[in-house]
Amino acid sequence: MYRTSPSPSSGRGRARRRLVAGCVAVAAALGLAACGTASGALQPAGTTGSTGSTGSTGSTGAVRSPGGSPAATIAPSPGADGAPPAAPSAAATTPAPHTTATRAPSTSPTPAPTPAQTGAATGSPAGEHAPPPGHGGAATVIGSTASGGRTVALTFDDGPGPATGQVLDLLAQYGAKATFCQIGQNAAANPALVKRVLAEGHRLCDHSVHHPQPFAKLPHDRAAYEITAARDMIVQAGGPGTRVGWFRAPGGGFNADNEQITASLGMSSLGWSVDPRDWSRPGVASIVSTVQHQLKPGGVVLLHDGGGDRSQTVAALKQLLPWLVAQGYTFDFPAS
Ligand SMILES: [Zn+2]
């Protein structure tokens, strides 16, 4: 049931359109620039001052330089791969919703990207989230389970964080396995939770070090750093033998370059097929209803265990898990 060895060439491409459509829908619903936009500027604690939130759509998704960020305690991560707005209560790092990106600190050892390098961010849903036309983008992004059939893959992004324990408790109660797309610095700050995820039979996915957005606009070197270093941080937190099978680009910002980087590290690019926008705290009933209506056998559900107050997600999970079981679903991991 649960495949363990990723085979980069298999099972891909099925969900690209759903992913894109979902992102656009999210952006439209929010009236925001894009799926990942609202959270785009979320940075680790302490970065705000140095990077500044210009709010400029012309800025890039530049992030803190490697090693330059304080291990922000679980700062509200970035939320969403569906574009979570900044968490109101989150400390320190919550930029205003429309600050789409931040500039690299001038002291960054890595060259800050220039507009010429990254292209102008359009601020439009398509510009932020969807792969550029003809770019090859999401062609290999996975949006289905490994086994197909009446299975579902639950995925939790932006942790580990305060809600991770509750999510794990619920999953255990229903014998459900899930995939956790963790932010590198959160994993580094919460190694015990990473170990618990593994000990309880779940799997890990790389969700970048700092959750920069728009991720697809990052220069190659920065994207490579975000993907590689996060993978390393998660492995270090999980301990020897820790395997990270997937990479999910923040905000679903995949492109041919980051997909290639991901593949070169032996990971698969992971999208989703169901997005209840739990990060936006639309209400428990909304989260539950969206999953119930959008899920089809073999689907991948995008949820969040980090990035802000996840009480709605936890409450929704309490309803969704028994519903999934009653509907005859079995829990699977994403294809790889
Ligand atoms: Zn995320």
Is there a domain that residue 290 lies in?
yes
Q: Which of 157, 275, 278, 305 is the catalytic position? A: 157
Q: Separation of 83 CA from ligand 1 center, angstroms?
A: 8
Cβ-count burial 72-97 (b if 16+ within 10 Å, e if not): bbbbbbbbbbbbbbbbeebebbbbeb
Task: Tell me the sheet residues that pair with 205.
Answer: 181, 246
DSSP three-state, residue 202: coil
Give residue 122's pLDDT.
27
Is the residue at 148 inside a domain?
Answer: yes
- pLDDT score recorded for residue 47: 33
Note the pLDDT of residue 278. Answer: 98
**Cα 139 to middle of ligand 1, angstroms:** 20
Q: What residues have CB less than 8 Å from 33, skipping those under 6 apart?
A: 27, 57, 98, 100, 123, 124, 125, 127, 128
What is the whole-number distance in angstroms between the Cα of residue 80 and the centre of ligand 1?
4
In a domain, 320, yes or no: yes
- pLDDT tens column, 270-314: 999 999 999 999 999 999 999 999 999 999 999 999 999 999 999
Residue 249 resides in a domain: yes
Dist CA 237 CA 248 (whole Å)? 18
For residue 123, being part of any structural domain is answered with no
Domain-located, residue 59? no
Give the integer Cα–Cα distance in Å for 183 and 279.
15
pLDDT digits (tens, 9 = 90+) for 241-261: 999 999 999 999 999 999 999
pLDDT at 139: 61
Ligand 1 center from residue 184 Cα (angstroms) = 11
Which pLDDT value is given to residue 302? 98
What integer pLDDT is reported at residue 81 of this predicted model?
72
Residue 225 lies in a domain: yes
Q: Does 304 participate in catalysis according to the annotation?
A: yes
Ligand 1 center to 240 CA (angstroms): 25
Please, which residues bridge with residue 204 across strands?
Answer: 180, 244
Is there a contact between 190 and 158 (Cβ–Cβ < 8 Å)?
A: no
Domain range for 178 is: 18-29+135-331
Report the separation in Å between the CA atom of 251 and the middle of ligand 1, taken as the mean of its atom positions: 6
Q: Cα(304) to centroid of ligand 1, in Å?
A: 8
CATH code of the domain containing 318: 3.20.20.370
What's the CA-to-centroid distance between 125 and ligand 1, angstroms? 16
Catalytic residue among 129, 207, 211, 304: 304
Instruction: Calculate how far, in angstroms, residue 158's C-alpha sits from the geometric centre of ligand 1.
Output: 5
Residues of the chain with pLDDT under 50: 1-79, 83-137
Residue 10 lies in a domain: no
Whether residue 257 lies in the annotated active site? no
Count: domains in the chain: 1
